[in-house]
């Protein structure tokens, strides 16, 4: 069992995600230290990222002494795939990958897609769970572009910067507009305002 008072543990096996959150964390004055910890979590098949995140958070209970969070994300092609891969994002990334998604699309100009991120926090001083959600909207790119980021980043064109895929942005640029960045902003407000 791990224990430390001023540490917040980010439970993730995905170093890309951790580095994005670390970049956000380092820009703020927060009275905590961020540490990555990789613990086996349970990822259920549910209808929403929020449900998956909630279950995943509860599956860690009792394994870390202190405050910790997980983050669950998904990529949704709303048009023309009615939200696929969504909660199946990990599996799709492992199997058909970005090329497989592109093969399912005829007209890229009409695509609508979004990422959702849910940060699920267990805040030890209050013995309570909290959730922070962020979304970013855009289109699917016809070509795979960029070497930054990870996962679906090379095929996502955010509406705010429609000429670049997420993989063509720096970590800081992506964080400024991304689903994870949005969820993070809410998490940060919580950390700054919470009285305990």
- List residues with catalytic annotation: 72
Contact between 165 and 145 (Cβ < 8 Å): yes
Residues in the site for ligand ITT, rule: CB under 6 A? 12-14, 17, 71-75, 89-90, 93, 115, 149-153, 166, 178, 180
Helix (H, G, I), strand (E, B) or coil at 95: coil
In the bound state with ligand ITT, the residue whose beta carbon lies nearer, of 14 and 79, is: 14
- 134: three-class secondary structure by DSSP: strand
Residue with Cβ nearer ligand ITT (115 or 123) = 115
In the complex, the smallest distance separating the C-beta of residue 120 from ligand ITT, rounded to whole angstroms, is: 11
Q: How far is the CB of 167 from ligand ITT (least distance, A)?
A: 8
Q: Which is nearer to ligand ITT, 59 or 79 (CB)?
A: 59
Query: In the complex, what is the shortest distance from the CB of residue 38 to ligand ITT, in angstroms, rounded to a whole number?
Result: 7
Helix axes 15-26, 179-193, angle to 10 degrees: 50
Enter the DSSP assignment of 40: -
Torsion of CA 60, 63, 64, 68, to 10 degrees: 0
């Amino acid at each position: 069992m791990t224990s430390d008072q001023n540490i917040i543990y980010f439970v993730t096996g995905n170093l890309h995600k951790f580095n994005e959150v670390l970049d956000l964390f380092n820009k703020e004055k927060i009275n905590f230290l961020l540490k990555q910890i990789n613990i086996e979590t349970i990822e259920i098949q549910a209808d929403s990222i929020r449900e998956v995140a909630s279950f995943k958070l509860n599956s860690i209970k009792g394994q870390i002494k202190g405050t910790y969070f997980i983050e669950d994300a998904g990529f949704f092609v709303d048009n023309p795939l009615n939200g696929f891969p969504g909660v199946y994002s990990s599996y799709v990334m492992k199997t058909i990958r970005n090329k497989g998604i592109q093969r399912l699309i005829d007209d890229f100009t009409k695509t609508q897609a979004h990422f959702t991120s849910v940060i699920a926090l267990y805040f030890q001083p209050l013995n309570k769970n909290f959730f922070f959600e962020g979304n970013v909207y855009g289109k699917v790119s016809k070509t795979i572009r960029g070497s930054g980021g990870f996962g679906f980043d090379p095929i996502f064109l955010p509406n705010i910067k429609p000429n670049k895929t997420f993989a063509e942005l720096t970590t800081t640029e992506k964080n400024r507009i991304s689903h994870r960045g949005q969820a993070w902003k809410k998490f940060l407000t919580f950390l700054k305002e919470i009285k305990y």
